[in-house]
Structure 1
Amino acid sequence: MSKFAAAILLILLGAVASAQDAALRTLATGDDGKDWGAVGRLEIDGRGFCTGALIAPNKVLTAAHCLYDRKTGVMHDVSAVEFRAGWRNGRAEAYRSVRRAAVHPDYVFGQDELMSRSRSDLAILELHHPIRNSTIEPFETAGRLRKGSKIGVVSYAVGREAAPSFQETCRVMGRYRGVYVLSCDIDFGSSGAPVFLFEDNQVRIASVVAAKAELNGQKVALAAALDFALDEVEGEFAEKTIRAPLPTVKVSPQRNNTGAKFVRPNGG
């Protein structure tokens, strides 16, 4: 058994039983998606998409690997990345180009060790112009998740890229080296999706989807914890950032494939 499989197995064996996961629900109408307009599709250089969410009027939280070409390992030109808030059925509530990006200082694209890669798989995109819309409210972030925390995910994915899907209830199965193991239903395109914590009558982002994995036939989601790591990404704006000139041509809304990168570890 691989070290990864052994670690995950320990987490699964130690997981506390909880309520059954909710099914995915498509947010296909304006009424369905009215509380989730700050979640959007990230169009990546005409080659794919990921999911991202506003944490400030001009900042989008997502997964770092979304910014890299999966074949070459080279970072995309961030001027070719566009955030489409509340994207649904061919239209968005707001379109914004990216001014600059910062990734976690420890992130290395293509790193072999899955847990290390997932732990630092965080990026923040600064938009050229903030989104100030009464129907789009940025989400606050939360600290550490616990087993039994009430969580859910809003994401786009292959086969459901036209509108976001909401899984209102999934489980925190454990945490290992700054990575949460979740029962949430994700797929290609869900990279960067916000994992929401529902607590004290608040909805806050507590983690970001980094990868999906499979262990002995059971699908799990791996998500980067935000405590400590998010501050480190923010710190990168003062140092190593990738800037883009103000674009003069709008990115085409027609996209075909997803640039999301996931890994399926060996189960034994």
Structure 2
Amino acid sequence: MKNPASRQKHAWLLCLPLLMSVQAAQAQEQLVDLQSNGGYTSYRLADDVTQVDLQEQTQGACRFNRTWGYDLTNRELWTNGGCGGRFKVTRSYAPGNNSGSSSNAGAAVAAVAAIAGIALLANHNRHDDDRRPEYPDYGYGDRGGEIRAGGGLCLDVRGGKFQPGTTLQVYECNSTASQRFSVGRGGEIRVRDLCVDVDRGDPRDGARVVLWSCSGSRSQSWSTRGGQIVSQLNGKCLDVEEGRLRQGAHTMLWSCNRGPSQRWWW
């Protein structure tokens, strides 16, 4: 007699083809051509878009999260730095369906929910180490990586001084320890044992961005939005002084405006 775990595993395997067919029935793809003429260009995504892939590069150098990307929160596909491409946009259902299709979609959702329940049972005995993290993946590796701005510049620890109060700047990318940042579970941006912080919790435009001892405060919590790095303290974006990307320029916070000095890649 097979044990319950074995039966659950077999039930999941039997339901897998059904899940795949439901997903296929509920997805539709379209192609979007979008080119950057050296600057930032965007395309409004429909509310039901679930994924975007670069199908064909038509001009420039297209690198995901550097010269092209998409943001499902703000429903935006964007290109920058001369990248042009044909993008495959995947939508969760086919537009223009009649009312009868809504019933089919509802049935499909119910089927997926039932299958998900079986999947949960099948996965019940998995080890904790196998579970996916419950925090967003911002694209930085565990050992840290560069956060790039335009003009070959990177976010940098000014003077290489790893101590509280040190300001951040943009500087020529050089792969040194001063340019290796990583993101923690709370959205904090770390370099060595310090965190990127809004100086004194200042909510105003022009607030300095410095290093400080990690505390889990909102002034050290960040998120990404369409290539921008946004402070969870006040919703302002990581920027450089005077909005001018030049070597040695200090970083600061400013109202988000999608300007070139607020674009970051990693």
Structure (1 or 2) with the larger CA radius of gyration: 2
Structure with greater contact order relative to length (CA < 8 Å, sep ≥ 6): 1
Same fold (TM over 0.5): no
TM-score by length of 1: 0.23
TM-score by length of 2: 0.23
Structure (1 or 2) with the greater helix fraction: 2
